[in-house]
Amino acid sequence: MNNGKTDIKSLTLAQLEVAVTKVGEPKFRAGQIYGWLHQKGAQSFSEMQNLPLALRRLLDEGFYINALTVLRKQVSADGTVKYLFRLLDGNTVETVLMRHHHGNSLCVSSQVGCRMGCRFCASTIGGLIRNLAPSEILDQIYFSGRESGLRIDSLVLMGMGEPLDNYDNVMTFLDILSSPEGLNMSHRHVSLSTCGLVDRIDELAAKKLQLTLSISLHASDDKTRSDIMPINNRYNIDTLLSACRRYLKATGRRISFEYSLIDGVNDTDGHAARLAALLRGLNCHVNLIPVNPVQERPYGKSKRVAAFCEKLTNLGINATIRRELGSDISAACGQLRRQTEGGIPQ
Ligand code: SAH
């Protein structure tokens, strides 16, 4: 809400049709408005030339169009672009555009801050400020696409926030994202990353979406995982992996596991062997990430990334090391926002 107005870009086409017919307009007007918002990037109702003037006025009275402002932009030597966007209420979120040989992917945020408390993560240090609206997640795609002039081929919900802790808005976002009258992006090009909210994973499985579920595992025993990820006290590794098996069965989609290697914490051959034993027989892929050190935290980069990967591979687990992109521009989630928070951007 903004001056009591409704956020029109957060409405699905079906919801917009209801709103339009309520004010006595024919249903097809909703499709026109939706196209202006999600395909043409309209930022005001006055741009919507094919709508009658009276309807444009009516829309202006009851609705607002969300927008983002680029507060900071950093370009890495490898072409990675990191945006710090300012939201309408002054909060900020980070979005990272990565260039791969197979296309461009965008890492989007789902919340301002986060309440999951993972010890190595910068996004959670100040707690959760608020959920992002569907429009604010969509606009990270629209604005970074427009600003960079690049086509966004795929998305990862791996920026700030826990997407399954903002479940309803993220589901609406996914609906609008894939609608043919909108950006028309297939869920096959979307990865959703979660620290492991098991009840929500089950809800998501029931929807049978074709997205890739990424699980932030980061440890192969409960003691280590609980030390670095408080969520493990609610849903332990066994409970989480059972949910992954149910997800796989319901959707047929291979699961992706993220494992950030932290020096002396989770990176021994013993940890790798235990991980291999846990994942045996599960159709999955392990993404190994050298932890990105965060100023406020004591965790350092593992020196055993290649050895850990080799151990897993030898044990028959499908594992790769994630290419580090944008490491020269503080690309770890939440770092740019923390540096800029409360201050004037340099
Ligand atoms: N809340 C979601 C998505 C956001 S973070 C989740 O937990 O999955 C995206 C990934 O980056 C997660 O795997 C997260 O654990 C990892 N991550 C966060 N901070 C990191 C850091 N400093 N170094 C390496 N990986 C990090």
Residue 260 Cβ inside 6 Å of ligand 1? The answer reads: yes
pLDDT in tens, the chain (346 residues): 578 999 999 999 999 999 999 989 999 999 999 999 999 999 999 999 999 999 999 999 999 999 999 999 999 998 999 999 999 999 999 999 999 888 999 999 999 999 999 999 999 999 999 999 999 999 999 999 999 999 999 999 999 999 999 999 999 999 999 999 999 999 999 999 999 999 999 999 999 999 999 999 999 999 999 999 999 999 999 999 999 999 999 999 999 999 999 999 999 999 999 999 999 999 999 999 999 999 888 999 999 999 999 999 999 999 999 877 676 665 555 666 777 764 333 3
Judge residue 221's burial from the number of C-beta atoms within 10 Å of its C-beta, 0-12 exposed, 13-18 middle, 19 or more buried.
Answer: middle
**Cα gap 113→93, rounded to integer Å:** 8
Residue 195 Cβ inside 6 Å of ligand 1? The answer reads: yes
69: alpha, beta or left? (left if phi > 0; alpha if psi -120 to 50): beta
Instruction: Determine the 3-state secondary structure of 260 from DSSP.
Output: strand
Query: Which two tokens mark 200?
Result: 């929500």
Angle at 82 between CA 44 and CA 331, to 5 degrees: 145
Total residue length of the chain: 346
Question: What is the residue type of 204?
Answer: L
> Whose CA is closest to atom 11 on ligand 1?
158
Ligand 1 centroid, distance to 168 Cα (angstroms): 21
DSSP string, 85-122: EEPTTS-EEEEEEEEETTEEEEE---EEE-SS--TT-G
Nearest to 12 by CA among 191, 140, 169, 130: 169
**Cα gap 225→219, rounded to integer Å:** 5
At residue 343, the pLDDT reads: 36
> Whose CA is closest to atom 4 on ligand 1?
158
Of the residues 333, 335, 337, 338, which should be mutated to test ligand 1's pocket, given the most ligand atoms within 8 Å of the CB? 333
At residue 143, the pLDDT reads: 98
pTM as predicted:
0.95
Helix or strand holding residue 229 (H, E): none
At residue 324, the pLDDT reads: 72
Helix axes 28-38, 13-22, angle to 10 degrees: 130
The DSSP 8-state label assigned to residue 322 in this structure reads P
**Cα gap 54→15, rounded to integer Å:** 21
Of the residues 110, 111, 131, 193, which should be mutated to test ligand 1's pocket, given the most ligand atoms within 8 Å of the CB? 193
Catalytic residue, chosen from 121, 244, 284, 333, is 333
Evaluate whether 288 touches 305 at the Cβ level (below 8 Å): yes
At residue 323, the pLDDT reads: 77
310 is catalytic: no
24-30 LR contacts (CB < 8 Å, sep 24+): 25/55, 29/55
Query: Which two tokens mark 41?
Result: 């990037």
> Whose CA is closest to atom 19 on ligand 1?
121
Ligand 1 centroid, distance to 196 Cα (angstroms): 12
**Cα gap 328→338, rounded to integer Å:** 16
> Whose CA is closest to atom 24 on ligand 1?
291
Residue 118 Cβ inside 6 Å of ligand 1? The answer reads: yes
Residues 6 or more apart from 163 whose CB is under 8 A from it? 110, 157, 170, 192, 193, 194
At residue 295, the pLDDT reads: 86
94 is catalytic: yes
Task: Tell me, letter by letter, the H, E, C secondary structure of 292-309.
Answer: CCCCCCCCCECCCHHHHH
15-23 LR contacts (CB < 8 Å, sep 24+): 23/55, 23/58, 23/62
> Whose CA is closest to atom 15 on ligand 1?
216
Ligand 1 centroid, distance to 287 Cα (angstroms): 12
> Whose CA is closest to atom 18 on ligand 1?
121
Residue 302 Cβ inside 6 Å of ligand 1? The answer reads: no
Instruction: Determine the 3-state secondary structure of 162 from DSSP.
Output: coil
Catalytic residue, chosen from 25, 94, 162, 258, is 94
Query: Which two tokens mark 288?
Result: 């190994």
At residue 327, the pLDDT reads: 67
